[in-house]
Amino acid sequence: MDTKIQVQLSIMMFLQFFIWGGWFVTLSTFLGNNLGADDGEIGMAFSTQSWGAIIAPFIIGLLADRYFNAERILGVLHLLGAVLMYLMASTTDFTVFYPYILGYMILYMPTLALVNSVSFNQMKDPTKEFSYVRVFGTLGWIIAGVVISYAFHWDSEAGIKEGMLKNTFMMTAMVSAVLGIFSFTLPKTPPQVAKNEKVALSRILGLDALKLLKDRNFLIFFISSVFICVPLAFYYQNTNPFLVEIGMENATAKMTLGQGSEILFLLLLPFFFKKYGIKKTILVGMLAWGIRYVLFAYGNTGEFTFMLLTGIALHGICYDFFFVSGQVYTDSKAGEKYKSAAQGLITLATYGIGMLIGFWAAGKSPTNTYWPMAHIIGSLSGYIRAHLPFWSSFYSRYSLKMKKSPINHSYFIY
């Protein structure tokens, strides 16, 4: 890949995830303090991510794959998103805010697939080249948190009281506008499907992969993936306000420890696959989920601050060892014909169905001192109802098979 193109793609990834990390992490704190939203309304706001994930295949399948270049759609979506971000910054009522954030997430979620399409189109070997581009996305998320906490102190106690968190939307509106304009300078990524070629709705939605659910092992893994996203939604929605409420300073920046560990453990994944196989790797990821919620339940900002920070840092293991490993497993089960459809089905199950349930449940749980117990309940529920039966039918022979399967980098989203 040409150095100039690699730089362009790296900048694109950096801006893409700077935008998401620049407002999503502090959203719950903003809604509760600036708009006076209750827990149910906060859950509604976060669930827009799931609705965006559910609707995204229509936008990608009907537009990017058939009629327009991916980089142009990316530019238009981010420019429209910048307008909605600007409007969100100026709202003072949740009933006005909600349509804006719903519209924004419907626009933003498809861009996650579009930036990957633009990248892959320029790469000779994505399994080797993509990670060097994608890592800038994680850095963008990290730097967004550092800017909020250390550069502007918007999430400090004084900043929150003054309503400064609204500036996160203004900041990301500007960055979104920059990325929107920059997208039109990216390498051309033409449609992959001819305009006159008929594409069934089932293909657009990835429903062709439903045949895989006939396999009992894959069915149980599918159900496990849905349930693991229930406690994950608790983490996304409640971690920042929880840390703020118990008095942790610069909470937004400290939460980026999770993305830092994600980089580290992403690099360690090939070693774990080769040494232990997919089964044990996923087991470690599942165990990390339970441990992190215990740490959140008993940690504090005094002598047990290390428990909170460790719980945040475990995000790398929790995400990479379960989600990425699961994507490798899915890739191996799908075969050449249904690879894309199968990955789309898993994405729909996790970021769509699973998190939709999780955000609804999180909206029913208060973000005060009872919040850690909600974490544990959500985690144990996922284990008892979905995860444990998985291992009674997930045979060891898949461990050997997975060692030869490449990582599908196209689904590395937080």
The count of other CB atoms within 10 Å of the CB of residue 193 is 14
Q: Is pLDDT of 92 > 70?
A: yes
What pLDDT is stored for residue 124 in this prediction? Answer: 83
What pLDDT is stored for residue 394 in this prediction? Answer: 47
Range 50-61 average pLDDT: 77
User: DSSP secondary structure string, 306-355?
Assistant: HHHHHHHHTHHHHHIIIIIHHHHHHHHHHHHHHHHHHHHHHHIIIIIIIH
Q: Is pLDDT of 159 > 50?
A: yes
Using pLDDT thresholds of 50, 70 and 90, give the confidence band for residue 342. Answer: low
CA distance 380 to 267: 29
Q: Where are the domains of the chain?
A: 1-190, 207-414
Share of residues in the chain with pLDDT > 70 (%): 77
Range 336-363 average pLDDT: 76
Query: What are 98-124's pLDDT values in tens digits?
Result: 999 999 999 998 888 788 888 888 888
Domain 1-190 matches domain 207-414 at the CATH topology level: yes
What pLDDT is stored for residue 316 in this prediction? Answer: 87
Q: Is pLDDT of 393 > 60?
A: no
Using pLDDT thresholds of 50, 70 and 90, give the confidence band for residue 205. Answer: low
Range 178-207 average pLDDT: 76
Instruction: Say if residues 244 and 378 touch (Cβ distance below 8 Å).
Output: no
Each residue of 28-45: b (16+ CB within 10 Å) or e? bbbbbbbbebebebbbbb
Residue owning tokens 């300073």: 249
What pLDDT is stored for residue 388 in this prediction? Answer: 47
> Which of residues 152 and 408 earns the better pLDDT score?
152
Please state which of the four CATH numbers 3.40.1280.10, 3.40.50.720, 1.10.230.10, 1.20.1250.20 is assigned to the domain occupying 207-414: 1.20.1250.20
Instruction: Please name the amino acid found at residue 73.
Output: I
DSSP-assigned letter for residue 197: S
CA distance 103 to 322: 30
- Determine the CATH number of domain 1-190: 1.20.1250.20
Instruction: Say if residues 44 and 98 touch (Cβ distance below 8 Å).
Output: yes
Instruction: Please name the amino acid found at residue 229.
Output: C
Range 252-275 average pLDDT: 86
CA distance 356 to 364: 13
